[in-house]
Amino acid sequence: MENLTIHHAGFFNTKEHYVQEPQHLFLFFQINGLRYINSKNFKTKDSKPFCYLFFPGDKFEFEYNEKRENWVAQFSYSKIKCVSNTHFSFSIGNENIILPRYLEPPQSDLMHWRNKFDALLLSFLNPTPHERVLAQLYLLDMFKYYIEEMRKKGQDSPATKLKQLIDNPENMQFSIAELSKRCAYSVDHLRVLFKNKYEISPQGYRIRYIMAYAMELICKSNLMISDISEQCSFKHLSHFSSLFKKTHGITPANALKRFRYR
């Protein structure tokens, strides 16, 4: 949560016409009563529930009727950056992903969003250190929901199918090209689709998956290092050990000593 500062959180339920030019990141959660909202990058007259992330300088005008129900959170966070009129980047550690600025929560999830914003507001208005930390966690949890929603969408895409094949340990012996054929796509085309969806190449993801699987075997199985290397479809133990150390910062032998459950 480095550099995350919440400047304001609020709930609004009064009829109003307003022009706003946020000075900070501005998460706008609309439930009901919207007549229109108009900005350079986003316009709608639909009153259905949605979330939208405005960036500093995104001047917008909106009008609500007497049925108004909306929450806002204004904050600063160096890990969120605008990448286009429709998307933003979100970073944690060394990972960077692209998310949409506009999101429509399904009806079944509206209570979750209400509760989360209410909890954020309550913690923000009770500024003890504990409550301030909770407020930051509640805010970050909303972006977790963004990520989960993006994961749900496109579950039947060819990139998702390839990922599911890679995630099956029984397929470690097959190359990415062979797995791509099962998806009825050329390896080059599917590589682009995969990278666009997951922000990582199929081969790069596969290496991460295999190394995570290898660590799981080291921790929870009774297999020796050579057996784990073979089960992960490596022909040479030295190659396995080198890649494992590069990924986890420790040799397989030392990992076995430190992490295997006895």
Same domain for 124 and 172? no
Number of separate domains in the chain = 2
Query: Does 106 have pLDDT greater than 90?
Result: no
Among the listed residues 146, 155, 160, the one whose alpha carbon sits nearest the alpha carbon of residue 92: 146
Same domain for 94 and 119? yes
Whichever domain contains 25, its CATH number is: 2.60.120.280
User: pLDDT tier at 150 (50, 70, 90 boundaries)?
Assistant: confident
- How distant, in Å, are the alpha carbons of 52, 74, 75, 78, 140 from that of 5? 19, 9, 5, 10, 11
Same domain for 37 and 104? yes
Same domain for 26 and 102? yes
User: pLDDT tier at 262 (50, 70, 90 boundaries)?
Assistant: low
Mean pLDDT value across residues 213-234 = 94
Same domain for 118 and 189? no
Cβ-contact 20, 59 below 8 angstroms: yes
- How distant, in Å, are the alpha carbons of 70, 183, 219, 254, 256 from that of 261? 50, 38, 6, 13, 9
Same domain for 33 and 71? yes
Mean pLDDT value across residues 16-26 = 94
Q: Which residue range is the domain that position 133 belongs to? A: 5-152
- How distant, in Å, are the alpha carbons of 12, 64, 69, 121, 217 from that of 16? 10, 5, 11, 21, 59
> For position 13, what pLDDT does the model report?
94
Q: Name every residue whose Cβ is closer than 8 Å to that of residue 57 and which is 6 or more positions away in sequence.
A: 21, 22
Q: Name every residue whose Cβ is closer than 8 Å to that of residue 50 and which is 6 or more positions away in sequence.
A: 29, 30, 44, 102, 103, 104, 105
Q: For residue 184, how many C-alpha atoms fall within 13 Å in the half-sphere facing its CB?
A: 2
User: pLDDT tier at 39 (50, 70, 90 boundaries)?
Assistant: very high
Same domain for 164 and 93? no
| Mean pLDDT of the chain, nearest integer | 91
> For position 254, what pLDDT does the model report?
94
Query: Does 133 have pLDDT greater than 90?
Result: yes
Mean pLDDT value across residues 151-176 = 86
Same domain for 82 and 169? no
User: pLDDT tier at 1 (50, 70, 90 boundaries)?
Assistant: low
Mean pLDDT value across residues 185-193 = 89
The span from the CA of 80 to the CA of 91, in Å, is 7
Same domain for 137 and 193? no
Percent of the chain with pLDDT strictly greater than 70: 97
The span from the CA of 225 to the CA of 231, in Å, is 10
Q: Decide which of 152, 186, 217 is a domain's last residue.
A: 152
Query: Does 260 have pLDDT greater than 70?
Result: yes
The span from the CA of 208 to the CA of 214, in Å, is 10
Same domain for 101 and 223? no
Helices 202-220 & 237-248 angle (0-180, nearest 10): 90
Same domain for 103 and 142? yes
Whichever domain contains 214, its CATH number is: 1.10.10.60
